[in-house]
A and B are shown apart, each in its own frame.
Chain A
């Protein structure tokens, strides 16, 4: 896919989410499903963006670009879940149901005890819930017995019983890891939210004056801005590199890095905004709450650090460098584990 197509997709997503997200957030805050925003999104076909080109999509990088835009505008829709559930269905050779989809994956603590799945994003509003189970099973279920919950940003995170037979069941190819895919998707959203937090903070620091000059003239503030920019850039670079390398290591590193950056960025963005940023009325919290929520979803940084730290030691110290280079390079053995095309 050309850079031009990629830019076009990201622009389409950016325009859409910019137009729809504000009103949709207000609806969700009242407990309503933002149907209008969802319909507008569904009409673009962007939910299929992450599919391989021969399956009517534009590839993983395009999907991540859409998610970045969704994060940038704090779009209160199951964009990531629908997109990744669609991708997993394709990988398992199953038909993805129409409508908003929820997705339950198995990173630390989310898979419940086998009879329930916990904190499933958007389950109550979904037409179907895709459940990644042990040993690579993928089942589709109609949401039932939902116990409603929410993350810090007020996005639905529901518990659901796994009662009765699923509506459909399949098996994911061994090289397709739904948990890692969803972690990467969340990292892409985090990256978008970071971008917006940075932009808002730079703008505020340039407009707000104290001691007769804009805050941005104070070096302490400039260094906060530089730190936010650096953390956001590192998260973005890790996500971009993962889309390119497609190795399990790279997916895990992207979520670990973005989750780590999220807390630093939220803290500094609020510090620079002062009291006004601590109000419900100011918009900043829409992004910082997502940073705080998303960093812990799909495995937080400590979870993925443990995975990476254990992986890193498998070959001993001398093997570390070749392993890191291979994990960051497309077309290596490790890449097969994350697969090509349909296989994330």
Chain B
């Protein structure tokens, strides 16, 4: 068969009780902490929220108990994280560590690395940054130039990483570095390292994004020396490892839900008897979301079965990020509304107006189809999955 099936996974028993538990927790947390709902996983950073989640056992859910995990299935984890996103909870702090850095360490890290770090992540108190992109290496990740060379008992690293989200407030970065010749495939000679952002002497320079926020950074490695035990996995295996990491980075429900709070706002604004054109616009989004969620769940089912559904994940991310943008566009047209930046419309506090929620999304949208791999690159991955190259 040419093409891709997304069969619905068999959900584990008890999953709806878990869902109810998460909803109750979120309702209480929202009432007590007053966070403003925003379904973009990258919207709000709250260490206290992350710790509360960790205490509930909702970080590192699928990992072995020996490393602080909870030995739940990937589908249970899926239910928890989609509830967090749909409610617009402030999940940014632990998100990367839970989604990809922890699983990477679990799979390729040394026993000492796992024991030292995974329990801290699972507790909601240890955060990670992704050290892939560089000034001259974006989509063409294999071209990274940051170099790690053996020096004494350890490694010496020189180079610059860029767009490193949260490097200024994370404990660690996993950096992809060149350690040997690229070879014919260009994929040889790459290795991943665990960098201590607080102690290794990496220079972290803020980059303010167009929305005025400081999320990403430039990270300069000027002769940074690290001990030998910071190598993750095997020297030269970095490409294979980073590919697995990217599959995790791309496969989750955060690639379809970033503007869900706006969809809910649109439905609210339209009321129970929308005029036909508006009902049509909403129905279109809702049908699209329904299909995307089914696909996203199927990807989680494949992950649970031990597969690496990278092409399927690319399809969901390509279509999902375009859907996220369409939600904001539809809201803008349907509810004539001038988006505003920040809370400058005076609503502020815990009840931002629709105008500021829309403003945040309009300013956020360009990043949705870039971060984690651009849609153009995703489409090339899909084409390769069709046997075309």
Q: Which residues of A contact B (CB under 8 A)?
A: 194-195, 198-199, 202-203, 205-206, 216-217, 219, 222-223, 225-227, 229-230, 232-238, 240-241, 244, 249-250, 252-253, 256-257, 260, 301-302, 304-310, 312-314, 316-318, 320-322, 324-325, 327-329
Return the contact of B291 from the options A227, A253, A305, A320 (Cβ within 8 A): A253
Check A235–B291 contact: CB distance below 8 A.
yes
Which residues of chain B are within 8 angstroms of A222 by Cβ–Cβ distance? 379-380, 383, 388
Check B291–A257 contact: CB distance below 8 A.
yes
Check B271–A313 contact: CB distance below 8 A.
yes
Check A309–B282 contact: CB distance below 8 A.
yes
Return the contact of B272 from the options A227, A301, A314 (Cβ within 8 A): A314
Please give me the residue from chain B that is nearest to A232 by CB atom.
Answer: B3
Check A313–B376 contact: CB distance below 8 A.
no
Check A306–B16 contact: CB distance below 8 A.
no
Check B287–A237 contact: CB distance below 8 A.
no
Which residues of chain B are within 8 angstroms of A252 by Cβ–Cβ distance? 287
Check B287–A305 contact: CB distance below 8 A.
yes
Check B286–A253 contact: CB distance below 8 A.
yes
Return the contact of B290 from the options A223, A317, A324 (Cβ within 8 A): A324
- B284 CB to closest chain A CB (Å) equals 5
26 interchain pairs (CB within 8 A)? A198-B2, A202-B2, A216-B388, A216-B389, A217-B389, A222-B380, A226-B315, A226-B318, A230-B318, A230-B382, A233-B5, A233-B295, A234-B319, A236-B4, A240-B6, A240-B8, A257-B287, A305-B287, A309-B279, A309-B282, A310-B283, A312-B283, A313-B272, A316-B268, A328-B290, A328-B294
B163 interfacial contact with A, CB 8 Å: no
Check A237–B294 contact: CB distance below 8 A.
yes
Which residues of chain A are within 8 angstroms of B298 by Cβ–Cβ distance? 237
Interface-located stretch among B165-173, B181-189, B259-267: B259-267
Interface residues of B in 1-28 (CB under 8 A from A): 1-8, 16, 19, 23
Given A216-B388, A318-B264, does the pair A238, B19 have CB atoms closer than 8 Å? Answer: no
Please give me the residue from chain A that is nearest to B380 by CB atom.
Answer: A222
A6 to B311 Cα, complex, angstroms: 25
Which residues of chain B are within 8 angstroms of A226 by Cβ–Cβ distance? 315, 318, 378-380, 382-383, 386
Check A225–B284 contact: CB distance below 8 A.
no
Which residues of chain A are within 8 angstroms of B5 by Cβ–Cβ distance? 233, 236, 240
Check A320–B267 contact: CB distance below 8 A.
yes
A321 to B261 Cα, complex, angstroms: 10
Given A222-B383, A241-B294, A250-B290, does the pair A309, B283 have CB atoms closer than 8 Å? Answer: yes
Which residues of chain A are within 8 angstroms of B19 by Cβ–Cβ distance? 325
Which residues of chain B are within 8 angstroms of A230 by Cβ–Cβ distance? 315, 318-319, 382
- B45 CB to closest chain A CB (Å) equals 23
Q: How many positions in chain B have a CB within 8 Å of any CB in the partner chain? A: 60
Check B264–A241 contact: CB distance below 8 A.
no
A237 to B5 Cα, complex, angstroms: 7
Given A202-B388, A237-B295, A325-B19, does the pair A253, B278 have CB atoms closer than 8 Å? Answer: no
Check A309–B286 contact: CB distance below 8 A.
yes
A126 to B273 Cα, complex, angstroms: 41
B289 interfacial contact with A, CB 8 Å: yes
Check B294–A238 contact: CB distance below 8 A.
yes
Please give me the residue from chain A that is nearest to B260 by CB atom.
Answer: A321
Which residues of chain A are within 8 angstroms of B263 by Cβ–Cβ distance? 320
Check B2–A195 contact: CB distance below 8 A.
yes
A307 to B266 Cα, complex, angstroms: 16
What 0/1 pattern do residues 348 to 389 of B give for CB contact below 8 A with A?
A: 000000000000000000000000000010111011011111
Check A229–B382 contact: CB distance below 8 A.
yes
Check A229–B4 contact: CB distance below 8 A.
yes
A226 to B280 Cα, complex, angstroms: 27
B276 interfacial contact with A, CB 8 Å: yes
B65 interfacial contact with A, CB 8 Å: no
Check B388–A308 contact: CB distance below 8 A.
no
Instruction: List 9 additional A-B contacts (Cβ < 8 Å) besides A223-B376, A308-B286, A316-B268.
Output: A205-B388, A226-B382, A226-B383, A233-B3, A234-B292, A241-B8, A257-B288, A313-B270, A321-B86
Check B280–A302 contact: CB distance below 8 A.
yes
Check B386–A233 contact: CB distance below 8 A.
no
Check A240–B2 contact: CB distance below 8 A.
no
* Total A-B Cβ pairs within 8 A: 186
Interface residues of B in 312-329 (CB under 8 A from A): 312, 315, 318-319
Q: Which residues of B contact A (CB under 8 A)?
A: 1-8, 16, 19, 23, 86-87, 260, 263-274, 276, 278-284, 286-295, 298, 312, 315, 318-319, 376, 378-380, 382-383, 385-389
Central interface residue in A237, A244, A316, by most chain B CB within 10 Å: A237
Closest 10 pairs between A and B when the two form their complex, measured CB to CB:
A317-B268, A305-B283, A309-B283, A309-B279, A309-B282, A308-B283, A222-B383, A241-B294, A226-B382, A199-B2
A194 to B312 Cα, complex, angstroms: 17
A202 to B389 Cα, complex, angstroms: 11
A302 to B279 Cα, complex, angstroms: 9
- B286 CB to closest chain A CB (Å) equals 5
Check B286–A237 contact: CB distance below 8 A.
no
Given A206-B388, A223-B376, A260-B287, does the pair A198, B279 have CB atoms closer than 8 Å? Answer: no
Which residues of chain B are within 8 angstroms of A305 by Cβ–Cβ distance? 279-284, 287
Given A308-B287, A325-B19, does the pair A199, B280 have CB atoms closer than 8 Å? Answer: no
- A9 CB to closest chain B CB (Å) equals 15
Check A241–B388 contact: CB distance below 8 A.
no
Return the contact of B279 from the options A249, A310, A320, A321 (Cβ within 8 A): A310
A313 to B298 Cα, complex, angstroms: 27
A304 to B19 Cα, complex, angstroms: 29
Please give me the residue from chain A that is nearest to B319 by CB atom.
Answer: A230
A233 to B376 Cα, complex, angstroms: 18
- A226 CB to closest chain B CB (Å) equals 4
Check B295–A202 contact: CB distance below 8 A.
no
- B176 CB to closest chain A CB (Å) equals 25
Check B295–A260 contact: CB distance below 8 A.
no
A229 to B276 Cα, complex, angstroms: 31
Return the contact of B268 from the options A198, A257, A318, A329 (Cβ within 8 A): A318
Check B283–A304 contact: CB distance below 8 A.
yes
Check B274–A313 contact: CB distance below 8 A.
yes
Which residues of chain B are within 8 angstroms of A318 by Cβ–Cβ distance? 264, 268
Check A202–B1 contact: CB distance below 8 A.
no
Which residues of chain B are within 8 angstroms of A250 by Cβ–Cβ distance? 290
Please give me the residue from chain A that is nearest to B293 by CB atom.
Answer: A328
A226 to B387 Cα, complex, angstroms: 11
A309 to B286 Cα, complex, angstroms: 7
Which residues of chain A are within 8 angstroms of B386 by Cβ–Cβ distance? 198, 202, 225-226, 229
Check B283–A324 contact: CB distance below 8 A.
no
A32 to B272 Cα, complex, angstroms: 50
